[in-house]
Structure formats: C-alpha cells, structure tokens
Structure 1
Amino acid sequence: MGEALQQQWTSIHDPTTCTRKGLCPVKKVGGQDSPTPSYSLYFEQHGTGPIKVVFIMGLNVSCNAWAHQVKHFGRLPQYSILVFDNRGVGNSDTPRGPYSTSGMAEDVIVLLDFLGWTEKRSLHLVGLSLGGMIAQGALRTSIPHNVDVITLRIELSYRIPERFISLTLAATTAGGFPLCNIPPDAGMIELKSSCRVQFIRDPEKRVPYVVEMCFNASWLDATAKNDAKGRTNREVQTALYNERAALTRVQKPLGAISQMWAGFTHHVQAERLAQISKTIPKVVILTGDEDHLIRPANSAYLKKHMAEAEYIVWKDTGHVVNMQHVERFNALLEGVFQEGQARMEGRI
C-alpha cells in the first residue's frame, strides 16, 4: 500500500505498529426488489506475530475505542491484532439500514477472508457489547431449512467456528426481541440519552453523555490511579473521548439508528449458544456488576446455556470494561489466549 493511500485515514493507534490498513470491499446481494449496494469496511492490522486476535467494537463506536488493547498487544512481537470499523461508523461506509447482527457478522467473515485469516484454529475473537452480539453471529453453526440459494450461501459463510481458539464475550447479550434487549431501569435514562447523543454534533456537548453511559458513577467520581494531574476518572475519560472524537469521522444518523436496530433485534437461541460453547476450546463471559446499558443478568443467561464457558463478574464496574480496567482486561485476555491454545493442543 502506497504512502499516499496509507495517509487517507487518520487513526489514534500507533502508526509504528500498524502493518496493514485500508478498505475491505463488501459485496452484497439482496432480493430482486431490494438489492443492497456494495460498501467497504475500514480495518487496521497491528503486528505480525503468530497469535492473531480479532476485536469487534460495540454500538456506534469506531475501532479507536480499542486503543488500549492495540497499544498493549500491538507492541508485543507474538501478536497480530485486527481492529475495524463496523458498517455505519468511523471510516467504514454507511449502507442503508436497518442492520442486523447476523449481517454484521457476515461483514466480519468477509473481512477475515479478505485478509487471508482463514486457517483452522488460528484466531482469538473478542467482542464487546454489540461486538459480542456480532461475534455470536460469526460463530453461527446451524442452517435454516427451506432457504433459497442466495440465503444458503450467506448462512454457509457463518460456519467458521473451527477458525477460533478462544471467544471472549464482554458486556453483551444473547438478546431476545424485544424485552431482553432493553436496559435495566437505571439504564433507561442512558438509553434516552443515547438516542439524543446521535444528533449532537458538538463533541464538547456529546462526550459527557457518552461518559455517563459507559461507566458507573462511583468509579467516575473516584481519583484516577497513576494520573500525574490528580484528576478524577471522569476527567480522564472525558479527555480521552475528546481525543478520539477529534480523530473520528462524524457518524451519520442513518448509521447510528441502523446499528441500534441491530442491537434491539438481536437474538441467538439457547441451542446455538450451547453449540458455540462446545465448539470453541475456550470461552469467557465477562460483565460488570453496574452495567446500566446491558443487563448483567444477560451474561448470567449466556453462562446458563454455555456450560463450558468461564463466567466472570467484575465489581464496581460499568459497561466499557476494556477502558475502565485496562491492565486487568489485557491480562485477562492474555490468560484466555494462553488457555485456549493449551486446550486446543490437549495440554489441559
């Protein structure tokens, strides 16, 4: 990729660890009455190591939100890290909606094929919030009956659980339209704020709403650890969000609403969850006990139907676990990757 093309996209991630970035074309084929146009997904690969990790971000957030993970794993020689913008956000295109998590999972598979990440038992998958819902779709194993040829091809593309060594589902849900996808009572204010936020263009006015939605109040009000300025977590996170906002293309309302629809209509049946749990060598379900956007009980439901999975609840923790507890989250992932590899090789 030429230098001029590399500079077309601005990223918050370290350019010295970036080994590949660009646009992946996604070609869609819809029904005769409603063909879906082709579009592109923006992606970045950091590192060239043998341990490959795919990160899928959540609702209406660009891959810049994985900054702490890219910084950590991208600098370690044993890792290759893939982050990307889902359709409808960041540097990716915004095709017409509404979207579905199964359709967005198809995007992931197209991207993996485009990059040549197709070998069996070669990948670790990490999904946060809506990203975890998309990850469940990417691991889909069943094929519905009485489908036409076009639909069958789409469903077959989901049959890639054999590519994964581990799966981490963070702050997410199996869904169940419509009630299971509605936040708890404490989160309904955040939900209403989330809808309003999509139409606020001024980052200085938008960011405070986002911070309140993503983290629990007690943690936000506490003094941040290892902060030379002695700021609260709220002040630190506000500064970080402003930094990312300055480097992220403003999201179109169509993309925001379409992604929200995908989250509200998401549903993976219990039988499919059980199959995923049996198929992947290592599965971890992680939630914060003060998550006001996705009910912590939804993670308990995942565990109920994913018997082999490890179930973890972090105390005094909100929704965005990867940014609230950076070192802890990265250490957890390292352990998951190692245990998944050991299980795959039959060492444990």
Structure 2
Amino acid sequence: MSKYPTMFDPSSLVRKGFCPIRSGTPTAEAHSLYYEQHGKGEKHILMINGMGTPSFGWDYQVRSLAPTYSMLVFDNRGCGYSGYPVGRYTTSGMAEDVIALLDHIGWTSHRQIHVVAPSLGGMVAQELALRIPSRIASLILCVTTPGGMPWHNLPPWAGFRFLTTLLVTKDPAPTVMKMLYPSTWLEAKAPNDPHGRSNRQVRTESYLRLIGTSPKQRIIGHISQLAAALTHYVSPDRLRQISETVPKVVILCGDQDSLIDLRHSRELKAGMPAAEFIQWGETGHGIHSQRPAEFHDLLIRVFHEADTI
C-alpha cells in the first residue's frame, strides 16, 4: 500500500486499503473502493464525497476530528484510487458500495455511524439511510437534493458551464474556484494567513496539492458520476421514511450555490419536516472547505445532540 500515500497526518492513520465490491447487477462490473480510517474514538464518522472529489478533500475535518473520533473516508467509484466499473452509475448503487465498505471494516452496530455528505455524497447518503437506518445516529446532508427527473436535477446555467469546462480544460483550478466559492469571498483576505494571501490563493494552493496527490479523474468517471446525480430521486414518502427512522437529520446549504439550487434544499426540508434546516449566508457549494471551522463546530454539536436523543 506504500504506492498510495495518505495526504492526512500519518500518525492518525489506523488502517487503509481496498474493499472489494461484488456487483449484484449484470450491467456493472465488480470493482473496489479505496478507504482510510483515521482515529480510534468511540464515535464513528463516515464522510461521503461529492462528485469528482477524492477522500483527501476532507483534509481539515480529518485533522481536527481524528484525535477524538474514528473517521472513515473513501473514494467513490469512478474517482481517486477506487475502481471505474463499466455500466450505469446510480446513487442507489453507490450506496450499496458504502454498505459493502461498512460491512468490510466492521461498522455494523446499532446507531454507530454519523454520516456527513455534501452534494452527490448527500444523494448517496439518502439512499444509504433508506437501507441501513438502524446503523445511523445522525445524517448531515449538505448542498444536496432529493432529485427528480433529469432536467429537474440540472444545475443552474453557471454550474452547467463549469462542469462542461472541466471536461476539456488543462488547468481546472480557476474553474473549480469559481464553481465552489462566491467571487467576493475568493478575493477577500484569508483569515489567519501569515502571508496575507487571498482566499483564492489559499484555496488554489490546497486544491493543487490535492490533485497532485490523487489520480486525475478519468472522463468516464466524471460522466458516470454526473449521470448518477442527474438520475437521482428520493420521493417525499421516502424522505419521510428517512426522517422517521434516523434520530437526527440536518440539511445544510449556502445562499450562493452555483451547482445545487436552493429550492432543492427546501424540498428536502419539506419532505423531512423534523429535520434541522440551516442556510449560511455568502456561502457557495464548497461549504465545508469555505467555512471549515464553522462546519467543524456544527458537526460536533450534531454528533452530541444525536447521541443524547
């Protein structure tokens, strides 16, 4: 496994490896998921990535939470070190991948897992919660959607333009910055940066380090994950089922999201009236990396509240 270096602190690494996924459908091949566990705490945190993002995108949260919790991060199918199975990708199929991974590492106990999932990861997490609700203590759905017909799932025009640009550009960093963060925030001075750089400079440096450590996503992975997002749908009845079977559900969104329209977060709330709804101002799609400290504090609060229900 030495050829797969961790970008996190090696001292927090408990185990890493590949989980074999045996497909249950004739249209998809068997593949494997790359995963890492950091920390040995009693509370178990599962982080599910968004589209095109490998596990290393959780850098801040793993560094800040691993001393206290057990953190599980992994690369979704079609991204990072994980496999690229042939066949249609769906959020339900990707949720089955996650269940196989949880079974593989032994995270199978009642109310053992706190699930944190943005964007495409939030869509996968909805399907996951429908399948193994008794294992989940809390569910934090960030900048995501319950879905619908493919045209209903299309991003706003700016987001569509960003996604198509990523398929052909040789320098993705400028596009990724515009796609994930508000322009005013990008130009502002980064807090606590000793060199006085802007948020754009700091986040670009972090992004370049990320993509320099993990394999570049193949075009087929980009298209296949996008297809899973476009065909995702969890009906109001199924949303209600999640709300009734998972003790603590939080819906988190930003007001300047170029990829997921705000109305989709409100649709989630309408289907899960008991869920806590949070909207942060001047915040884009990259919500956990734009506001990492606040995101960290939110996670701590939700984990504690879920464990006291």
TM-score w.r.t. the length of structure 2 is 0.98
Q: Which of 37, 49, 60 lines up with 1:45 in the alignment?
A: 37
Counterparts of residues 212-251 of structure 1 (less than 5 Å)? 212-251=178-217
Distance 1:312 1:29 in 2: 37
Number of equivalences: 309
Match of 2:76 in 1: 86
Contact 2:158–2:258 (8 Å) recurs in 1: no
Indicate yes or no: 2:22 matched with 1:16.
no
The partner residue of 2:61 within 65, 69, 79 is 69
Return 5+ residue gaps in structure 1 as ranges.
141-157, 344-348
**C-alpha distance in 2, partners of 1:74/1:223?**
28
The within-5 A match list for 1:1-348 is 5=1, 7-31=2-26, 34=27, 36-76=28-68, 79-140=69-130, 158=131, 160-184=132-156, 188-200=157-169, 202=170, 205-343=171-309
Question: How far has the Cα of 1:179 moved from its partner?
Answer: 3.0
TM (normalized to structure 1)?
A: 0.87
Residues in 1 aligned to 2:149 and 2:190: alpha-carbon distance in whole angstroms: 38
Q: Is the 8 A contact 2:91 2:229 kept in 1?
A: yes
Taking the aligned partners of 1:269 and 1:291, their CA distance within structure 2 comes to 23
The structural deviation recorded for 1:98 is 2.6
Q: What is the CA-CA distance between 1:194 and the residue it aligns to?
A: 1.3
On the 8 A contact 1:97/1:255 being kept in 2, the answer is no
Larger Rg, first or second structure (1 or 2): 1
| One-letter amino acid matched to 1:327 | A
Instruction: Give SS of 1:258's match.
Output: helix
Q: For residues 192-215 of structure 1, what are the alpha-carbon distances to aligned partners after superposition, in whole Å with 9 as ceiling and x for unaligned?
A: 221231333x4xx11111111011
User: 4+ residue runs of structure 1 moved beyond 4 angstroms?
Assistant: none
Q: CA deviation at 1:97?
A: 3.3
CA distance in 2 between counterparts of 1:322 and 1:189 reads: 21
**Secondary structure at 1:16 match in 2:** helix
Amino acid at match of 2:33: L
Separation of aligned partners in 1, 2:180 and 2:17: 29
Identical columns (%): 43
Task: Tell me the equivalent position of 1:146.
Answer: none
Rounded to whole Å, the distance in 2 between the matches of 1:129 and 1:58 is 5
Letter of the aligned partner of 1:23 in structure 2? Answer: F
Counterpart code for 2:121: G
